[in-house]
Structure 1
Amino acid sequence: MKTCRFLTAVLALSLGAAGQASSQDSPQEPGSTPALNLELNALDTSDKGCRLTFVAANELSVQLDKVTFEMVLFNAEERVERLALLDFKTLPAGKTKVRRFDLANIACDNISRILINDATECSGEGVTEGACIRQLKTSSKSSVRFGI
């Protein structure tokens, strides 16, 4: 009888843990804030200079018709090397897109950090003012630091 209760308790704990694991693996938990995720995926030397590759995932509940970020590129001495406006164009809700930008006359190994200064454009039906910066989450797969 005790063995039966013990096995029932173990089974209940196992099922509860499995349920918790599956809810934690969901991309967005209920109650969490939707985000615009921007990953600096790669920097590659191109014929023009340096090619930046970004992965943008719009987890907001609205389509972004036009998104432009002002980015500041710093050199190895932490001095501003360049300011650039990068137009990410349309980012549909719930969709991930890859965007590439060729920056002329700059060597990739000269870039130590990229700072997003502002979202100079963030438009779409139902998009609140400042949403592209306020709900932006950044990450980097390269050795270059990337953030807000």
Structure 2
Amino acid sequence: MATLSRILPLVVTCAAGAAHAEPVRLELNALHPRDGACQMVFVAQNDSETDLQRLVLEAVLFDAGGQVAALTLLDLQDLPAARMRVRSFEIAGLACDNLSRLLVNGVSACEPDSAVCAEPLALESRVPVEVLQ
């Protein structure tokens, strides 16, 4: 029978490994219908120790039927380390109430070229649109 002193270090090691957080968080915070467009508001948080001078994500937007409605680039601009930024994008020809999913297809640009940009994003949504990577 294993003793507690032998098990405890293993549990602590496993818990520490599981605690790895994604360095960049992206939340779809709001959708606002505009004349012939949908305004998408994002909250981005850079939890890394690296200032990002520019981060551009390739995004695919799907309609309620699951078809691709738009393919666009989300230029999040600068994301300083340990700071939050709010960014807004208007997608022409897209009705907000017909949007079902947003897929972050990949990183189109990252400056400086950093390991931070190779890590998965932590994605969230405060609206009834699924956000995935």
Please tell me the root mean square deviation across aligned C-alpha atoms, in Å.
1.5
Aligned length: 115
Residues 1-36 of structure 1, C-alpha deviations (whole Å, 9 max, x = no match): xxxxxxxxxxxxxxxxxxxxxxxxxxxxxx634520
- Whether 1:106 aligns to 2:94 is yes
Q: Which has the higher contact order (CA 8 A, sep 6+)?
A: 2
The answer (yes or no) to whether the contact 2:22–2:119 under 8 Å persists in 1 is no
Q: For residue 142 of structure 1, what is the aligned residue in structure 2?
A: 127
Deviation at 1:116, TM superposition (A): 0.2
Over 6 Å off, 4+ runs: none
Q: 2:117 aligns with which of 132, 138, 141?
A: 132
Residues 107-137 of structure 1, C-alpha deviations (whole Å, 9 max, x = no match): 1011100000011011127x22xx3252411
Q: For residue 59 of structure 2, what is the aligned residue in structure 1?
A: 71
What pairs with 1:1-148 in structure 2 (closer than 5 Å)?
32-33=20-21, 35-124=23-112, 127-128=114-115, 131-148=116-133
Task: Give me the whole-angstrom Cα distance separating, in 2, the residues matched to 1:81 and 1:32.
Answer: 34
Deviation at 1:66, TM superposition (A): 0.6
TM-score normalised by length of structure 2? 0.81
Work out the percentage of aligned pairs sharing the same amino acid.
Answer: 37
TM-score normalised by length of structure 1? 0.73
Deviation at 1:145, TM superposition (A): 0.3
The answer (yes or no) to whether the contact 2:22–2:121 under 8 Å persists in 1 is no
Where does structure 1 lack aligned partners over 5 or more consecutive residues? 1-30
Q: For residue 7 of structure 2, what is the aligned residue in structure 1?
A: none
Q: Aligned in 2, Cα 1:32/1:82: closer, same or farther, shift over 3 Å?
A: same
Task: Give me the whole-angstrom Cα distance separating, in 1, the residues matched to 2:119 and 2:67.
Answer: 26
Larger radius of gyration: 1
* Secondary structure at 2:128 match in 1: coil
